[in-house]
Amino acid sequence: METHQGQPSCFIILGASGDLAKKKLLPALFSLYCNKMLPEDFVVIGFARSSMDHKAFRNRIVENLTCRYGENEQDCAEKMDQFLDRCYYHSGQYDSTEDFESLNKKINEQYPDGANRLFYMSIPPSIFVKTAKSVGASGIMTVEEKFWSRVVIEKPFGEDTESSEKLLESLSKIFKEEQTYRIDHYLGKEVIQNLLILRFANRIFEPIWNQEHIQYVSIKFTEDIGVEGRAGYFDQYGIIRDVLQNHLMQILALVAMEQPVKFDAESIADEKVKALRSVPALTLDKVTVGQYAAIEKNGIKYPGYHDDPEVPDDSITDTYAHLQLAINNKRWYGVPFYLSAGKALNDRKTEIFIKFKDVPYSIFHETGKTNTNGLLIRVQPNESIEFQMANKVPGLGMNLEKVKLDMLYHDEFDGVLPEAYERLLLDVMRGDRSLFLQKYELQASWDIVTPILHELQEKNIQPKPYPYGSEGPDHGCPA
């Protein structure tokens, strides 16, 4: 695996004045610095349209920096100062080749012998292509052969199959596939990475990980807040595009895929694509969409989606969706996969639940609960793995109840769990694309949801209202 850990490196964040850069990317780079995972010689360059000097940029950065790995107060302050001294700001227009040429000149002056370059496009999708063309035309991506140049692109990657393919084609003319890292931060979460270990390093699961033994699979994403501050963006996409097509579809692929021949990006992507291409396109009878409505509870008023001033009065954008998918291959034929995601619900969590079938015949069927076997994988919060099984209730009778055997990450393992962006940025530096979306799996996931997205729009199907803070609208499925 390519590392170049000791080579000088530039981390260039496009959209450096935005929330993602401030709250996730720069704190992640700082954590890597604290853990001595960055090269000795590096700089961080923020690029955005806002007018700002280096000092003002550093003041914005420091607000969100934390020492997560046990440094004392004095060491933490010293490391912050050292990190901030390497942070610079360059103001410019995203569609201006001249502004990127100016930035390139400054980098070349600081590193006349060359340096690695990591570009993070933390910018609105509407300006992806224009920005990429400016970057490409400026020559800033061109480096000497002994150094690398890579670009990280944030979702959404299009709005449907056609727009995604056009975006991929446009960007491929500027960036090579091997230097393109399409990020889905969910793939950097510790529990999601552990899915491959759980499945393929434990023999106990392989014989029962199929349609003979599994009744259904449920993958849920819930938030207990609405679209506060993001309504303008969210209303263009909805929950299916914003969460289901990417985060949850990637989780589905990891749950359902066959074991890859090797642990590398291409082999993993090959198996994920095979799984996704076995999923038929969604039909309307397998989809429930909802939109949260206002409610007053305990004297507190919770606004509905249409109460947000940035939401059009006639908006039919989905804030909740429940999908029932099938995977038509030998392993999964007949097993429903339920994917659901929603905002303004009664909890904040992301979970994977594998529900196992009941035993064909149980001598205990009259004494209590026997159909209790399940594997719950909690992605957030309080990361854990929990196995559910039947157990005798202590006492003189023969009564059965469901019990839980669980492993909490924070209890089982010492140390701080790395944030997703820490792991993913480190993988970009290492040249490891295994946790990033390859273009064929992106196409396969869009093919599943595109027909239903068009049908919902063309037929002007109204989402079912559900109260803010509820479980969402009824979808008639067991999970």
Query: Which residues are bridge partners to 355 per DSSP?
Result: 216, 374
SS3 assignment, position 220: strand
Contact 58, 83 (CB under 8 A): no
For residue 321, what is the DSSP state? E
The region, left, alpha or beta by phi > 0 then psi within -120 to 50, assigned to residue 150 is beta
Query: Of 371, 375, 378, nearest to 401 (Cα)?
Result: 371
Query: Of 414, 418, 413, 364, nearest to 392 (Cα)?
Result: 364
Contact 402, 92 (CB under 8 A): no
Separation between Cα atoms, residue 429 and residue 153, nearest integer Å:
15
The reply to whether 475 belongs to the active site is no
Please, what's the b/e burial string for 356-388 (b: 16 or more CB within 10 A of its CB; e: otherwise)? Answer: beeeeeeeeeeebebebbbbbbbbbeebbbbeb
Token couple for 406? 């669980």
Which run of H or E residues covers position 67?
none
Token couple for 453? 């997205």
Query: Of 102, 87, 101, nearest to 13 (Cα)?
Result: 87
| Interaxial angle between packed helices 265-277 and 439-458, expressed in degrees from 0 to 180 and rounded to the nearest 10 | 30
Query: Of 313, 306, 284, nearest to 453 (Cα)?
Result: 284
Separation between Cα atoms, residue 248 and residue 225, nearest integer Å:
19
* Sequence-distant (≥ 6) Cβ neighbours of residue 226 within 8 angstroms: 292, 303, 305, 308, 319, 343, 344, 468
- 54, 185, 213, 247: which is the annotated catalytic residue? 247
What is the number of H-type helices and E-type strands within the chain?
15, 17
Known catalytic residues are: 247
